[in-house]
Amino acid sequence: MTGSGLPNSADGSPIVTMRGIVQRFGSFIALHGVDLDIHRGEVHAVLGENGAGKSTLMNCLFGINRPQAGWICIDGKEVAIESPRQGLSMGIGMVHQHFKLVPTLTVADNVFLGHELSNGLGLVNRREQERRVAELSARYGLAIDPAAIVSELSVGAQQRVEILRALSKRVKVLVLDEPTAVLTPQEGEMLFSVLRGLVADGLAVVLISHRLAEVLRFADRISVMRSGRMVGSVKPDESSERQLAELIIGRELASNKWRGGRATGEPMLEVSHLTVSGYQGVLAVKNVSFAVRPGEIVGIAGVAGNGQTELVEAVTGLRRTVSGTIAIAGAPVGKSDPHRIRRSGVAHIPEDRLGRGVSLWSSVVDNLVVGQIDDRRFGTVLLDRKAMNEFAERLVGKFDIRLSSLSTHAGRLSGGNMQKLVVARELDPEPPMIICCEPSRGLDIGAAEFVYSQLQEHRDRGAAILLVSTELPEVLRLSDRILVMHDGRIAGEFDGAGRPSPREVGRVMLGMDALHA
């Protein structure tokens, strides 16, 4: 196709036009002739289930993938984008779901990594790099210290560093893949404030997200993909969360009505007067006591950073306690011993799937089997690879983990499929105690519904479940009892059957109606 008659963004036409994009991976067709337009000065959300093709489509635009058919125009000219470097040179920037920063370097060093500024003597001009980063940060309200070491920044600040990297290359289109998946609500609000500043300055922002409420609130246009095809485009003021969800999954959404369990017997998990240290010895958990019985889901709600992470690490043996006791099935856990705790029947779905949930360079098979590797069905002297593959195939099918082959490294999976891998491994052996943190993080509507149903079914079969989530709707929907953590303490308790309102729980989360206030 020639460049004649193509759209030009200067006259209000799209800055990016994608037509008939086809992407194959072997025999698998990831994109079936997809069309997409992106305009300056707008936030354009692209929604869909895991594996729908959202990230694949954006990877074609950024130059990570090379489509087998179709064409792309930027500013009215047809282009061939064959590498991320070439994509950047054409004004396309992408902030991936899992950051690509060097943690030991400063913010300025990360921003200019690969295109460092020289002082004319062949040395890096760090002063000028820091000056430019400070200028960009101030212009867009990013609030980043150029001299800070990246490893010492919060997750939200690290994400803003990724945005600075793209802005330093003068991008016209900024693609954000699940940008709020690991952010606190406050960090999410700050991010969208930044994005509004970017589009006001004429940039186009493409937002890939599973969070429908934030999409409806912040996007200017919404496109929905399903099974590698574009199936609809709507404006936020013409749609609702339920309508978007049903367009995404292609069917009516199941009822989210609360369905309670029935606690029985003695506690499976009992925490008594627990105190735990956090960063630099500061107390993160302060004299916390609670119990979880078979047949119930106890939810812990709270704004991130109020001791939930340290509490879970202590209960799973990953962090030493200062004082207090932890008992599992009536037996005290004397010291931090993750192996002993796991052998006692405790499954753990961690909040950080990258750091704690998967081995990125190991295969999907090895990641699924690792929790049961000493099971005799997988061999006694030598590993029975056939049995391991059959086991993995069953879980991949049951949990709809989308991948090209079982030998695929876990690190090559999308965030959502990585999360499903962790959930599948932890729930399959029917554990009597499940500690479940942020279970739907990175999951689409359909996958989240499936995980919710799995948790409820395990509870109904007698499992005791501790659910820790910063997603308040998730806690309200699944919990039989709700504990609220604020400033390291249990600040309030609600009966799930009483259906407390988000406002009631939210006030306690913020310390406004805390028991210890």
Q: Which string of DSSP letters, residue by residue, matches 258-291?
A: -------SS-SEEEEEEEEE-GGG-EEEEEEEEE
Q: Phi, psi (5° rounding) for residue 45?
A: -85, 135
Instruction: Give the C-alpha separation, 322 to 285, whole Å.
Output: 9
Residues 258, 287: contact at Cβ < 8 Å?
A: no
pTM score > 0.85 for this model? no
15: DSSP letter: S
Residues 376, 120: contact at Cβ < 8 Å?
A: no
pLDDT over threshold 90, residue 264: no
Instruction: State whether residue 397 is helix, strand or coil.
Output: helix
pLDDT over threshold 90, residue 414: no
Residues 131, 138: contact at Cβ < 8 Å?
A: no
Provide, rounded to the nearest whole percent, the portion of the chain with pLDDT above 70: 94
Element at 448 (helix H, strand E): helix 445-460
Element at 21 (helix H, strand E): strand 16-25
Residue type for position 155: V
Strand extents, DSSP E, 309-458: 323-328, 331-332, 346-349, 433-437
Residues 474, 437: contact at Cβ < 8 Å?
A: no
The predicted model gives 108-121 an average pLDDT of 83
Residue type for position 352: D
Q: Which residues contact 117 (CB under 8 A, 6 or more apart)?
A: 124, 125, 128, 129, 132
Residues 288, 254: contact at Cβ < 8 Å?
A: no
Provide, rounded to the nearest whole percent, the portion of the chain with pLDDT above 90: 46
Instruction: State whether residue 232 is helix, strand or coil.
Output: strand
Instruction: Give the C-alpha separation, 135 to 118, whole Å.
Output: 18
Instruction: Give the C-alpha separation, 313 to 222, whole Å.
Output: 39
pLDDT of residue 220: 94
Q: Phi, psi (5° rounding) for residue 434?
A: -120, 125
> Smallest Cα–Cα separation from 299: which of 490, 488, 487, 457?
490
Element at 373 (helix H, strand E): none
Here the tokens at position 111 are 């921003």
Residue 400 burial (CB count, 10 A) = 15
The 10 Å CB-count burial string (b at 16+, else e) for 60-69 is: bbbbbbebee
Would you place residue 7 in the very low, low, confident or very high pLDDT band (cuts 50, 70, 90)?
A: very low
Q: Phi, psi (5° rounding) for residue 352?
A: -105, 90
pLDDT over threshold 80, residue 98: no
Residues 101, 161: contact at Cβ < 8 Å?
A: yes
The predicted model gives 431-449 an average pLDDT of 87
SS (H, E, C) 179-202: CCCCCCHHHHHHHHHHHHHHHHCC
Here the tokens at position 129 are 């790099």
Residues in the chain: 517
Q: What does each C-alpha distance from 407 to 343, 359, 392, 479 come to in angstroms?
A: 27, 13, 10, 37
Q: What does each C-alpha distance from 319 to 63, 312, 314, 359 come to in angstroms?
A: 42, 9, 5, 20
pLDDT of residue 515: 59
pLDDT of residue 299: 96
> Smallest Cα–Cα separation from 330: which of 263, 288, 264, 268?
268
Tell which phi-psi region holds residue 463, choosing left (phi > 0), alpha (psi between -120 and 50) or beta. Answer: beta
Please report where in the chains the tokens 């072997």 appear, as a residue. Answer: 26
Strand extents, DSSP E, 394-460: 433-437
163 vs 50, higher pLDDT: 163
List the beta bridge partners of residue 174. Answer: 93, 205
pLDDT over threshold 70, residue 517: no
Residue 255 burial (CB count, 10 A) = 7
Instruction: Give the C-alpha separation, 212 to 440, whole Å.
Output: 13
Residue type for position 364: V
pLDDT over threshold 70, residue 488: yes
> Smallest Cα–Cα separation from 341: which of 405, 403, 271?
271
Instruction: Give the C-alpha separation, 170 to 174, whole Å.
Output: 10
- The domains of the chain, with CATH numbers, are 42-63+82-249 (3.40.50.300), 254-345+431-517 (3.40.50.300), 356-429 (no CATH)
Here the tokens at position 206 are 């493409």
224: DSSP letter: E
Q: How far apart are the first and last CA of the chain?
A: 68
Residues 452, 478: contact at Cβ < 8 Å?
A: yes
Would you place residue 182 in the very low, low, confident or very high pLDDT band (cuts 50, 70, 90)?
A: low
516 vs 160, higher pLDDT: 160
The predicted model gives 339-343 an average pLDDT of 86
pLDDT in tens, 355-401: 888 999 999 999 999 878 878 888 777 888 999 999 999 999 999 88
> Smallest Cα–Cα separation from 451: which of 460, 461, 440, 462?
440
Instruction: Give the C-alpha separation, 353 to 438, whole Å.
Output: 10
Q: What is the mean pLDDT of the chain?
A: 87
pLDDT of residue 242: 86
